[in-house]
Amino acid sequence: MLTFIGLGLYDERSISIAGRDALQAADYVAAEFYTSYLVDATVSDLETAHDIDIDVRDREGVEQHPEDILRKAQSEDVAFLTAGDTMISTTHTDLRLRAIDRGIDTRVIHGVTAQTAASGLTGLQNYRFGKSVTLPFPYAHGAEGVPTSVTDSIAANRERGLHTVVYLDIKADRDEYLRASDAAEMLATDLEDMLAIAVARAGSPDPTVRADRLSALAEKDFGDPLHLLVLPGELHHLEEEALAALADAPADMLNAVDSR
């Protein structure tokens, strides 16, 4: 059996009870933290809390050389851990399909995702979100400005009145995380100075949620990572009330979105 377990967003206690039980019953535990990581838990914290040993894999060890994981899963119970929800990344879907091709039983135990947390924290309705995008560090995509794939997806969502979650680049091996203020500055340069919402440390006891113009968010400090941005589309009146109450959205910006 190969069991994929989402750890949730914050610390060693964010895992579901079902996930915890499967984790403690596993004969071997692997994990990756290059797609995301827990805000307030180290690998050592996880090992101590759940009385396990974790084999942390880098990208190559998951995507190109997962053979030892699959071999173990043919005769043992193997758990594969990720922060957030385990099947958000295509990397993990590929590993699951490889296991199925070998006749290995698989199952998925889900965790909370950054997108659902962002919807809950901002008050924006989950079914009104369109395609999400990832904003890379400027040096990571080898060109100036924001990639057209990002701006085109945002524009397409806005044409349909849909909200956009903008995930911010992570370079975990370098302990480098794109911050909401830097992302807002990048987007304000390539887009109109629209309303946006910065969300920091979703899933923690003290998340930060702040709505304002992109240029205004670019001047703010949102504290420790992880951060993301939400660019709203058309707003339902209840969403407007939520952004005002939960994210201190300026009234003139809500009117501007509503009258677009």
According to the annotation, is 113 in a ligand binding site? yes
The amino acid at residue 182 is: D
Residue 209: both structure tokens together: 């949620």
DSSP annotation of 179: -
CA 38 – CA 46 distance, rounded (Å) = 10
According to the annotation, is 94 in a ligand binding site? no
Contacts of 63 (CB under 8 A, 6+ apart): 91, 94
Its sign, for the CA torsion 41, 42, 45, 51, is positive
According to the annotation, is 228 in a ligand binding site? no
According to the annotation, is 88 in a ligand binding site? yes
Cα→Cα distances 191→10, 119, 132, 188, 223, Å: 32, 23, 16, 5, 25
Query: Going edge to edge, which strands form the sheet with 78-82?
Result: 55-56, 28-31, 78-82, 2-6, 106-109
According to the annotation, is 168 in a ligand binding site? yes
According to the annotation, is 85 in a ligand binding site? yes
CA 246 – CA 242 distance, rounded (Å) = 6
CA 71 – CA 49 distance, rounded (Å) = 27
The amino acid at residue 223 is: G
Query: Going edge to edge, which strands form the sheet with 164-168?
Result: 133-135, 164-168, 227-231, 195-200, 208-213
The packing angle between helices 114-122 and 237-247, to 10°, is 90
According to the annotation, is 114 in a ligand binding site? yes
According to the annotation, is 227 in a ligand binding site? yes
Binding residues for S-adenosyl-L-methionine: 9, 85, 88, 113-114, 168, 202, 227
Binding residues: 9, 85, 88, 113-114, 168, 202, 227
